[in-house]
């Protein structure tokens, strides 16, 4: 029987994380069993414990990885600066509250897709989620401060932080509601997204 190389092991671990990321977001962490997860990853059930001590450890890694990817996208948008599609925050709002993001139930930002799960999981998962939320608040606050300074204002860091909290809360809340009603009332779902896009930065 051929030995598994370090590269193979790393690839298998990544396959597990990617499969778990999709399944946790679309089904919920508690609803996903290890057997079906490993099948989705193209691996055998018993191989799971070669990579993770528990499903909780995997959930922590998934949460961290999902926020790393999402926050990387936020950083790139902010670094691009203003453009024809608006300011960085306007582009963030437009992308977050889009039909495409709503329909990507197994992907997209974990701040919305894992919002109900996080509070039911271990402190490790909650800490990873909280760290991701803090990353969004830090990025939003810095951009709110920068835009204010660019407009010749003297921004108050406390007020900027409060605006960042309100913005993230509105984005996550609108996306969560839009997804919850989309199947039975698609018009209402679209209305929630549209209203959020129009007023999130008021």
Tell me the residue ranges of DSSP E strands in the chain.
Answer: none
Domain assignment present for 19: no
What pLDDT score does 6 carry?
Answer: 87
Q: What are phi and psi of 83, to 5 degrees?
A: -150, -170
What pLDDT score does 48 carry?
Answer: 95
182-202 tens-digit pLDDT: 999 999 999 999 999 999 999
74-88 tens-digit pLDDT: 999 999 999 888 999
Domain assignment present for 159: yes
Domain assignment present for 170: yes
The whole-number average pLDDT for the span 161-188 is: 98
DSSP state of 3: P
Q: Which helix (H) or strand (E) holds 124?
A: helix 123-150
Domain assignment present for 156: yes
Domain assignment present for 129: yes
Give the range of the structural domain holding residue 119, as residue numbers without chain letter.
Answer: 56-199
2-59 tens-digit pLDDT: 567 888 899 999 999 999 999 999 999 999 999 999 999 999 988 999 999 999 999 9
The whole-number average pLDDT for the span 115-129 is: 96
What pLDDT score does 4 carry?
Answer: 76
Output the domain CATH number for residue 175. Answer: 1.10.357.10
Q: Which helix (H) or strand (E) holds 101?
A: helix 99-103
The count of domains in the chain is 1
What pLDDT score does 2 carry?
Answer: 56
Residue 112's closest CA among 160, 66, 61? 66
Q: Which helix (H) or strand (E) holds 92?
A: helix 88-96
């Amino acid at each position: 029987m051929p030995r598994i190389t370090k590269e193979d092991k790393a690839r298998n671990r990544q396959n597990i994380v990617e499969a778990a990321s999709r399944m946790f977001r679309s089904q919920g962490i508690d609803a996903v069993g290890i057997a079906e997860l490993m099948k989705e990853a193209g691996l055998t059930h018993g191989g799971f414990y070669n990579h993770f001590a528990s499903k909780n450890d995997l959930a922590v890694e998934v949460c961290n990885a999902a926020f790393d990817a999402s926050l990387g996208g936020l950083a790139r948008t902010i670094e691009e600066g203003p453009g024809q599609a608006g300011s960085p925050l306007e582009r963030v709002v437009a992308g977050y509250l889009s039909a495409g993001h709503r329909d990507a139930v197994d992907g997209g930002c974990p701040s919305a897709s894992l919002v109900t799960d996080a509070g039911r999981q271990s402190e490790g998962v909650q800490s990873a989620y909280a760290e991701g939320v803090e990353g969004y608040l830090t990025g939003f606050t810095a951009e709110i401060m920068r835009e204010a300074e660019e407009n010749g204002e003297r921004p108050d860091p406390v007020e900027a932080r409060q605006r960042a909290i309100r913005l993230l809360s509105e984005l996550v809340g609108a996306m969560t509601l839009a997804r919850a009603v989309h199947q039975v009332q698609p018009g209402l779902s679209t209305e929630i997204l549209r209203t959020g896009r129009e007023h999130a930065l008021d």
